[in-house]
Structure 1
Amino acid sequence: MNRLEVLATGPLTTVQDRGRPGFAAIGVPRAGALDRGAAAQALRLVGAAPSAAVLESLLGGLEVRVRDACWAAVTGAVAAVEVEGRPVPWGRAVRVPAGARLRVGTASHGLRTYLAIGGGVALPPVLGSRATDTLAWVGPPAIAVGDVLPLDAAAGPPGIGDALPPVTAPILRLHPGPHAGRFADGVLDGLLGAAYRVASDSDRIGLRLHGPAIARTAAELPSEGMVLGAVQVPPDGQPVVFLADHPTTGGYPVVGVVDPRDVDRCAQVRPGDVVRFARA
């Protein structure tokens, strides 16, 4: 079995796949790649199975060395990619020779890069998934320098084509939430089109936004189930978009739910970027 050695991780690198749906009732988030489309692109490019695991890296800075020759691809945030110090294309399958180092530079456009290599990272699954959940830390721990990770064999030949760079100043289409009676009249209309800046404490749990405060007319609710893309409104009125590692329950009212087609975009906006909401 091929293996890769981790030489550098950047600010945060985790193993991610399509996540572990179906365990919310026991308090386990779905987790999985935040930018699901970019992760799937990387896997297609190297000929790995759609269910295989990739390395998700915040801002890039990941460096690995492979034991045996294999295919690799970097998608998501745009960054310089090198093999043994030589530039290779971003967003395209590249051949990595046995013993060679692959380095992903700092992201220049977007926030999270995805490295698919070989047939995917082959760590043992937990509850049916290899994804790292950063809320409850179910699954593998965050990747550390010196880790040696097993790789599966590719399921097929490398794919043809180039990945697309992420949309990083997005419009997020919004469906009305379940708690209309907990907000002042016209709040949803006021939210649509308003500019919100991404806060620096955003993470895999939630995209935290700063902008016009959303007026609530009632206190918190009894805790109830939460879904991916739910836009919760805490007491300060600043919305939070729930992402892959979000808690499975919550007591703050939900003003809307981001359309599933747009949730991936939340993975690639940086602190200080502006997002807007539109009616789905």
Structure 2
Amino acid sequence: MSSLSFARYQQEAKTSLLCGHQIAYWQSYDAAANNKQQTIVFIHGFPSASWDWHYQWKYLARDYSLLCADMLGFGLSAKPDKHRYSLLEQADIFEALLLQNDVGDYHIMAHDYGDSVAQELLYRQAKRRAEKSIQPKATLKSVCFLNGGIFPACHRPLLTQRLLKSWIGKWLVKWLTKRSLEKSLYKIFGKNTPPMQQEIDMTWQLLMHNDGHLVIPDILRYIDERRQWGERWVEAMITSTVPLYFINGIQDPISGRHMLDRYIEVIPDAKTALLDVGHYPQLEAPDEVLRYYRDFLRSVQS
């Protein structure tokens, strides 16, 4: 993940059968050969892939074990047709990945769709502790959210997303073009931080890999799933003993300033960072995101 190119991204990927599907994932180092005890797990958003984290990955690898995966239906991972994609299944896959790689203490940095997966993992850990169930070795120590639908009632999907999720989605998706993707990205990036051509090209290439665009309508069911499980996820956040952090690009029309305001209103002693960018802070303001996140991790560890 040290290079931005699609070829390098593919070359450095590992694959594993997790929950019945071939999943592409990346590790920063051989745990047996290093004395780094904590792992950061990156969870990407919709409709992109783990490539989004390449900048943060490059620098955080110096001090932490890093782990990420292209979720089912995304990037280089399997994209089964006629599959009922679920945020809960994505959480199952991450739990399997953590177990397979013998992860102990870990932190999550999540974005967009990945925020919901992180919320589910946070909820599961709290539920197991409350029920005094057997805990897996992997112990979640902190969560950092980037722009995403943390509160379903505040989430404002684009018209394009609503149409693709509707009954005409299966037809519309066949006419999806790189130009239409570019227009959507320009709508959600900040006015002074538009997407670079390389970011548009990579997002498109990863989306189209193995006809991934055809499963978009099925994946977009996550909008309904957020409404179904949102109450329990937010309750887990309110009562959480796990440190939480929210880095928000306030220009984002989907989950920007309005989502940040709601977070501050609902989450006790909310720890947040505001950036004057759009939906992809990790791409639009990579230095600032890295700096804020390093500070957060230091506060957690101290």
* TM-score category of the 2 structures, normalised to the smaller one: under 0.3
State TM-score, norm by structure 2: 0.25
| Higher RCO (CA-CA < 8 Å; seq separation 6+) | 1
Which is helix-richer, 1 or 2? 2
Which is strand-richer, 1 or 2? 1
